[in-house]
Structure 1
Amino acid sequence: MILGNITGRTSTKEFNFMVKGKARKFDYVQVLNGEDYVLAQIIEIEKDSNEEIAFCNIIGYRENKEFKRLLTPLEPGVEVLKADSDFIKEIIGLDSKGVFIGKLDGYDDIDVYLDLNKLLTNKLSILAKTGSGKSYTSGVLIEDIIESGIPMLIIDPHGEYSTLKFNNEKDKERMIKFNVNKKNYRNKIKEYSPDIEVNPECQPLKLSNYNLSTTDIAQLFPAKLSNTQVGLLYSAVKNLSGNVDFDSLISELELEENNAKYSLIHILEYIKKLEIFSDNPTSLQELISPGKCSIINLKGVNRELQEVVVYKLLNDLFDARKKNNVAPFFCVIEEAQNFVPERNVGEAKSSPILRQIAAEGRKFGIGLTIITQRVSRVEKNVLSQCATSIVLRVTNSNDVKSISSSIDGINPEIEKEIRNLPIGTALVTGIVDLPLFVNVRPRRTKHGGETIDVGLSVENRIEESNVENENFTDKVEEFKNEGELMLLIKQKVSKKDLMLMEDRKDVKTSLIPCLFVNLKDFNVLINLNNGEIIKEIENGKGKKLFFEVNLSEQQKKVFNLALQMKEFNASDIFSKSQVNFSEIYDIINILVSKGYFVKGEGNKFSVNESFNFSLNDFSSYEQPEYLRVEFDNKLEKKINPLDVIKFISSFYEVKNNKECYLEVFS
């Protein structure tokens, strides 16, 4: 359809035309330039009593599929046509798969997709004033990421995201228009909360208090510690040789003579009473589970405690991800201004770890989405690292200024539009080189907010993208295949090869829950179903361990010496232990009563057979990997991994550990 003809002066970047047809601001137009059509966009229309003039920015054209910009101006008088949909998609380079966010504004036949791989590697921001649809829009993205099978963690300060478990029973007409069907993700979502009295539908969230560092502990305190207090903490942690929890730390501080210890002890006792730290913390592998979405519901939790939870949880997960102890995952931070505020606004306890994830997360397979209603109060360095942004209506001048300074391609005209965006329309940057106005699709699931009625959705697919020579989706490509994705030690001989070699028609695959423990000089694999240390990888067989180690330092010293002897008496231990001889008999008798020692003939003793071996004899050279596997039977985990670590740490230096499964055939 002809809209008019070019008039006045032209350049390689812009032109004007006299409007004769029906034109609309931000419509796309095409103009013939030699043998190729050039795509442009109307950025403003002016009208007086005599004429209507449209002002256009030139986007470019394609030559042999390569995008090019004009090097010579367009000819005045040339016809300006309304761009057809296929031409727009071709020139802009819109993807035809990925995260389906909605339709290009004014073009109901052009679907707009976000590249999922780009989202997960370059970070995303969703920015809007209150009531403009940021939570609704994030729900659309979350739906498709759940569909893709990539693990998700949502920090939810207001309890808005639990509605992902319910169908969207509204928006039926819009669902038909956008070809979206209602759906719920009840079976793929788990909710956790540090306060299950306020949030009784959630599972309790417990953070690990094992091996706390001085930095960890300092971050928990409500005020900045003095140099003296930091020194006391450092000394106490050092004296505990890394085996730090709240009880041991308080006991160690009580031995100090400095009066600065009292305020530290008081606050530590207060933190302990909050009961968010535990000897049996929520498993990180449970939180980050392929195909699952974990919601951390912080509704009703005070702000400072929210910051502590986010700091400790994300710090542990970031460390676990660097060691490949959990799968690559996608993290959503709602109300980001509370967790990583601009430095002139304040400093949250969670700020350092969020800065680190924003800067380094892509290298370790952690995707990050920042959602906020107060853009100017979010740290600029974090916002500026978001390669893709979804901006809904924003009216606050400081917030608009922050958006303009943090996001490329936002000119004064776009700034004006941001202030006036209608509900349900978003400005999306980072998909292509120019910002796009998109009508957001309806959600499949119920919306948790009350003030907005708009939504989005996605088509569960993962696309390729190169990130510092390492593609995020290379790490998660197994999400697309059959079977369940898990950290797995596979057999060297495959099931198919075994069937051929042994001429068997029926081979069953079982998965044994294990703990892979990385010691200073070697690795061991512990069967978490029966408590055996695995010797034979092929069938998962090994030797039974005894994990209940509850010894004093003197008892532990005696026990470690006894492990080196086949048989011994009190004199043998005394000569090597430097323990008072009067105490030796008492310690040996206690260890006999606890089952560590066995009394032999006369005054001879020996170590219980459950302990009398060297872990070095059970060294494992296999490495667990994230793989997808089909199986017939998955054994139940009956042993607490923390008990295993505490036991082994009593005798060896544990460098790292991760839960996994061992594949065995029968």
Structure 2
Amino acid sequence: MILGNIIGKTTTLNFKFLVKGNAKKFQYVQVPFKDNYVLAQIIEIEKELDRAVAFCNILGYREECKLKHLRYPLEPNTEVLVASEDFIKETLDLKEDKNSAFIGKLDGYENINIYLDLNKLLTKHVNILAKSGAGKSHTASVVIEEVIEKYIPLLIIDPHGEYSSLKYNNEKDKERLKQFGLESKNYKNKIQEYSPNIEDNPECMPLKLNKHNISTSELMHLLPAKLSNSQQALLYSVLNNINKIDFTQLILELELEENNLKYTLINILKYLEKLNLFSDAPTSLQELIQPGKCSIINLKGVLLELQQVIVYKLMKDLFEARKKANIPPFFAVIEEAHTFLPERIFGESKSSQILRQIASEGRKFGFGLCIISQRSSRLDKTVISQATTQIILKVTNPYDIKAIANSVENITSETEKEIKNIPIGTAIITGVVDLPLFVNIRPRKTKHGGEAVDMLQISKKVKAENFLEEAKSYDDKELLLVIKQKISVEDMELMGNKVKVNLVPCLYINCSEFNLLVNLNNGELIEDIEGGKGKSIFIKLELSPQQKRVFDVALSLKEFKAADLFAKSGVQFSEVYDIINILVNKNYFVKVNDKFRINPDLDLDFSKFSCYEKPDYFRLEYDKKLEKNYNSEEIKNFLEKFVKIKNSKECWLEVYTNER
């Protein structure tokens, strides 16, 4: 289809034509050249009273499998045609291969798919830059889905807990997915979440960092506070007196110092020790980085200063492990990157130095980075420029736009002006070819996780004519703290199961290493969330204060003699023998040869009962509330003999029973 004819002066880079057809800004056109065609793009259209003129940039022509540029200008009056989709794909070399990731469709061309080269992503990094609400988390999740599909090991730094939604299907966009040739999907079996804060994120495994490989200088860097020179000198002198980094030993050494500066240092170290983040048994790096696995580091509810410490230590250990080939090549996604990697004029983050090093050297070792930020002007410009692939969504802040234009290659003045006008769902992508492409990002296969929380559940769909009746029935429902089942009552009925909903009274306990759920109806420690069943382990321990001290020491020892209990309990040696005999008679201790140990019935591994669900407030209908038969305080008093309890709350567990 003819759009018009070239008019006026032409160059090897651009031309203009008098519009006769329906031309659109950023539309691709083709112009006869030699025995072939040249591909060009309309960058602006000027409308006058009696005519319209389109201004075009020449992209080139393909010859000998290469995109070549013109050596001499096009002839005036030459016809300008609508570029065919096949010609666009051929000229720009837009094709799929086994290492490509389907990101979306070329804007305005439903049949032209855009693919990212995953080899390039893994070795040369990618940035996703956008303002808040423009779709950066959605776009990042599309990239993540493609990476997971190719079995590339993946690690996500998730400050807000948005990416756990990758475990669930996208039920809302099934029709749109069909338009892109895709289906709703989840990656629940390929994702594991870790968090240093399992109190707020009970579905996560505890994240533990390695304290064995912390050097003196690294410890100084890790402390979540800025130390004065005098404080640093004091800490260095104390560190010289200990063989390895141990927070308890370090605190004891500081307490011996006659220097008032020690109190601030002691408080900082006690804070780190209380977090229980650094461990002799850290989370294995080989566990985090595995082919076909996505590890999410969920930092929701963690202080920013501590987030930066975690990112620094984790990234440093992973980088060192990758350089030694102890873990496979992998891809790391850093969400809210401006908080971990700020531009130097905004100050240094604990994690800045290691992330800069990975950005510049990671490609040599197969350590790929995806940097995501909503504040480009606050993000380190060197790191922005290190990425070969840039995905730019709508940005309106002029400082952010200028930062992008100054740091990203191939951004023309016309493209820069267009950044603030990009529709939601569309992105400018550089690095796929030698020019920016406008791409409509495909829908996610998984559930979107970046939406605002519907706190009162008031977005329930209600027919207009029944609104008052529906609203009244909704208000009558009781607001309860509940752990809900993953499968709803409606879904159960669709599967042909008529069920009743029972609410089981429970005690949700947050321990330092895991969370527990106790059935207050039958006293069982719950293993089966669906049935509310578990194991009865609660025995009323009748102990005097002295007996309790001995028993608590015994819990920390596998096997022991009387001398061991005497050394650690502070109880008189003569009393220790009497207490041991009493506890043997009560069947709390058992004798093994010349030693003793806790009765195996009491020596439980409570981590096997870890609960990964979290109670939340819901208004819901139910058929029956089961009776509460056990006292929460008595249960906590019993468990405190075995585990460290940080917090607890009573709640309800939703359990289905079949109707008869």
Match of 1:337 in 2: 338
Rounded Cα–Cα distance in structure 1 between residues aligned with 2:189 and 2:154? 14
Rounded Cα–Cα distance in structure 1 between residues aligned with 2:138 and 2:61? 35
**Contact 2:224 2:309 survives alignment (8 Å):** no
1:63 paired to 2:63: yes
Shift of 1:199: 0.8
Which letter does structure 2 place at the counterpart of 1:300?
Answer: G
Match of 1:543 in 2: none
1:51-450, aligned counterparts within 5 Å?
51-97=51-97, 98-241=100-243, 243-256=244-257, 258-450=259-451
Rounded Cα–Cα distance in structure 1 between residues aligned with 2:80 and 2:450? 44
SS class of match (1:321): helix
Rounded Cα–Cα distance in structure 1 between residues aligned with 2:348 and 2:71? 49
Rounded Cα–Cα distance in structure 1 between residues aligned with 2:379 and 2:194? 26
Which letter does structure 2 place at the counterpart of 1:229?
Answer: Q
SS class of match (2:176): helix
Rounded Cα–Cα distance in structure 2 between residues aligned with 1:34 and 1:363? 43
Shift of 1:256: 4.7
1:35-93 deviation digits (Å, cap 9, x = unpaired): 12111100011112211111100011122323211111100111111111121112112
SS class of match (2:17): strand
Which letter does structure 1 place at the counterpart of 2:63?
Answer: E
Which letter does structure 1 place at the counterpart of 2:297?
Answer: I
Structure 2, unmatched stretches of 5+, are: 454-593, 596-660
SS class of match (1:344): helix
Rounded Cα–Cα distance in structure 2 between residues aligned with 1:94 and 1:236? 62
Rounded Cα–Cα distance in structure 1 between residues aligned with 2:220 and 2:189? 38
Match of 1:14 in 2: 14
Shift of 1:100: 0.5
Shift of 1:219: 2.0
Shift of 1:258: 4.9
Match of 2:37 in 1: 37
Shift of 1:294: 0.5
SS class of match (1:330): strand
Rounded Cα–Cα distance in structure 1 between residues aligned with 2:384 and 2:72? 37
1:112-152 deviation digits (Å, cap 9, x = unpaired): 00000101111111011111100000000000101111111
Structure 1, unmatched stretches of 5+, are: 453-592, 595-666
1:369-400 deviation digits (Å, cap 9, x = unpaired): 11011111111111111111101100001010
Which letter does structure 2 place at the counterpart of 1:379?
Answer: D
Rounded Cα–Cα distance in structure 2 between residues aligned with 1:358 and 1:429? 18
Rounded Cα–Cα distance in structure 2 between residues aligned with 1:420 and 1:448? 25
Which letter does structure 2 place at the counterpart of 1:129?
Answer: K
SS class of match (2:169): coil
SS class of match (1:40): strand
SS class of match (1:337): helix
Identity of aligned residues (%): 64
SS class of match (2:319): helix
**Contact 2:103 2:143 survives alignment (8 Å):** yes
Rounded Cα–Cα distance in structure 2 between residues aligned with 1:188 and 1:18? 55
SS class of match (2:386): coil
Rounded Cα–Cα distance in structure 1 between residues aligned with 2:351 and 2:341? 7
Shift in alpha-carbon separation, 1:34–1:211, aligned structure 2, 3 A: closer
Shift in alpha-carbon separation, 1:94–1:22, aligned structure 2, 3 A: same
Match of 1:585 in 2: none
**Contact 1:212 1:245 survives alignment (8 Å):** no
Rounded Cα–Cα distance in structure 2 between residues aligned with 1:16 and 1:173? 40
Rounded Cα–Cα distance in structure 1 between residues aligned with 2:174 and 2:271? 51
SS class of match (1:132): coil
Shift of 1:224: 2.6
Rounded Cα–Cα distance in structure 1 between residues aligned with 2:196 and 2:284? 14
Which letter does structure 2 place at the counterpart of 1:42?
Answer: I
Match of 2:619 in 1: none
Rounded Cα–Cα distance in structure 1 between residues aligned with 2:167 and 2:199? 21
Rounded Cα–Cα distance in structure 2 between residues aligned with 1:398 and 1:230? 38
Rounded Cα–Cα distance in structure 2 between residues aligned with 1:451 and 1:272? 34
Rounded Cα–Cα distance in structure 2 between residues aligned with 1:354 and 1:70? 41
Shift of 1:257: 5.1
Which letter does structure 2 place at the counterpart of 1:113?
Answer: Y
Rounded Cα–Cα distance in structure 1 between residues aligned with 2:344 and 2:301? 26
SS class of match (1:99): strand
1:479-498, aligned counterparts within 5 Å?
none
Which letter does structure 2 place at the counterpart of 1:416?
Answer: K
Shift of 1:239: 4.0
Structure 1: which 4+ aligned runs deviate by more than 4 Å?
A: 254-259
Rounded Cα–Cα distance in structure 2 between residues aligned with 1:353 and 1:255? 35
Rounded Cα–Cα distance in structure 2 between residues aligned with 1:100 and 1:202? 30
1:433-455 deviation digits (Å, cap 9, x = unpaired): 10000011111100101269xxx
Rounded Cα–Cα distance in structure 1 between residues aligned with 2:281 and 2:314? 14
Rounded Cα–Cα distance in structure 2 between residues aligned with 1:94 and 1:256? 68
Which letter does structure 2 place at the counterpart of 1:317?
Answer: L
Which letter does structure 2 place at the counterpart of 1:140?
Answer: V
Rounded Cα–Cα distance in structure 1 between residues aligned with 2:368 and 2:143? 13
1:495-541 deviation digits (Å, cap 9, x = unpaired): xxxxxxxxxxxxxxxxxxxxxxxxxxxxxxxxxxxxxxxxxxxxxxx
Rounded Cα–Cα distance in structure 2 between residues aligned with 1:356 and 1:144? 26
Rounded Cα–Cα distance in structure 1 between residues aligned with 2:138 and 2:213? 39
SS class of match (2:227): coil
Rounded Cα–Cα distance in structure 2 between residues aligned with 1:266 and 1:81? 73
SS class of match (1:108): coil
Match of 1:635 in 2: none
1:153-196 deviation digits (Å, cap 9, x = unpaired): 10101110000000111112211111011110000000111111
**Contact 1:121 1:366 survives alignment (8 Å):** yes
Rounded Cα–Cα distance in structure 2 between residues aligned with 1:154 and 1:28? 37
Q: Give the stretch that moved more between structures: 57-66 or 259-268.
A: 259-268
Rounded Cα–Cα distance in structure 1 between residues aligned with 2:249 and 2:365? 33
SS class of match (2:326): coil
Q: Please give the TM-score of this superposition, normalised by the length of structure 2.
A: 0.67
Rounded Cα–Cα distance in structure 2 between residues aligned with 1:429 and 1:317? 28
Rounded Cα–Cα distance in structure 2 between residues aligned with 1:2 and 1:54? 13
SS class of match (1:384): helix
Rounded Cα–Cα distance in structure 2 between residues aligned with 1:154 and 1:288? 11
Which letter does structure 2 place at the counterpart of 1:421?
Answer: I
Rounded Cα–Cα distance in structure 1 between residues aligned with 2:176 and 2:427? 16
Rounded Cα–Cα distance in structure 1 between residues aligned with 2:267 and 2:35? 79
**Contact 1:209 1:246 survives alignment (8 Å):** no
**Contact 1:95 1:114 survives alignment (8 Å):** no
Q: Give the stretch that moved more between structures: 90-99 or 114-123.
A: 90-99
